[in-house]
Amino acid sequence: MTYQPSPARYASMEYRRCGNSGLLLPALSLGLWHNFGSTDSYENCRSIIHTAFDCGITHFDLANNYGPPPGGAEETFGKILKQDLRPYRDELIISTKAGWPMWPGPYGDLGSKKYLVASLDQSLKRMGVEYVDIFYHHRPDPATPLEETMRALDQIVRQGKALYIGISSYSPEETKKAVDMLRSLGTPLLIHQPKYSLLVRWIEEGLTDVLEQNGVGCITFSSLAQGLLTDKYLNGIPTDSRAASNRGNGALEATGITPQVLSQIQNLNHLAQQRGQSLAQMALAWVLKDQRITSVLIGASKPEQVLDSIGCLHNLEFSNAELEQIESILKPKN
């Protein structure tokens, strides 16, 4: 059956300008970190992506190593793009990354020009596209000169393999150096992708200021703390949860879900209910309340989770009393 996207797909999504660029991103973007590997149900993956696009989510975020196996998510997305979304390619923002281990030997990891160029070539083939809209260096590489990594990103844009470039998980100091190097090369840094949530706040210690001062966008990942800021863990650790499976690769671990953390999320959930939101919706809204945040990446294992996340857009405003209550809940207890 031929996929026909909703004619009203742009009616209710909010779009935000990415730094000082001409690019607008949806307030919510779909990340394919989990649940889109070759071992996952293809029809479920397809349904999730259809639901996202039908709701105005135009940005699909991947990386070379997303799976399993590594490369699996890009292959799955490539099939869905070919089957359903090819006529709408110019309505899509497709991003991918390189920086974590991808293949054996000394050239399949970190930040060398050799690795970044080869990895993107592989990603383009897996997805069946001539270019990606955004290509990221996935993490800092202390062993490779930053200038080499930035020159590789600049070259990739000049070759037409990516329209824009980004970085992920760089510190404020590393980010400022990257901004300056790229500016001197003539290819501005578009966007930074850090981990950020109610429970992980490191970007408040300088990074958001650097991004704002230099006109760089910000798209956050793990803003639901790998599912911890949803109703899944309100009564403990379910046996079918990511924490219980302890799959590694950045997955949530059961050891991190302490009685204090459970108490915090239960109290946050109570506040969310008072706001007429689910805990997940409030957690996403809390990130998006800051206009310096261009977009928030959401994950999904089923289409209904996409719809629930989009519900956060109905209430992005927080009173001072609500913000104070959140900080009180999250304040470490001695």
Q: Rounded CA gap, 144 and 102, in Å?
A: 17
Q: What is the pLDDT of residue 123?
A: 99
Over residues 215-266, the pLDDT tens digits come to 999 999 999 999 999 999 998 777 666 666 655 555 566 567 889 999 999 9
Q: Which domains does the chain have, with CATH numbers?
A: 15-226+290-315 (3.20.20.100)
Over residues 81-99, the pLDDT tens digits come to 999 999 999 999 999 999 9
Mean pLDDT of 29-43: 97
Q: Which long-range contacts (CB under 8 A, 24 or more apart) does 206-213 make?
A: 206/172, 207/171, 207/172, 207/175, 208/290, 208/292, 209/172, 210/172, 210/175, 210/176, 210/179, 211/19, 211/175, 211/292, 212/292
Over residues 123-162, the pLDDT tens digits come to 999 999 999 999 999 999 999 999 999 999 999 999 999 9
pLDDT at 312 over 80: yes
Tokens read off for 87: 């006529």
Over residues 270-281, the pLDDT tens digits come to 999 999 999 999
Q: Angle 231-46-41 (CA atoms, 0-180°, nearest 5)?
A: 75
Q: What is the pLDDT of residue 332?
A: 81
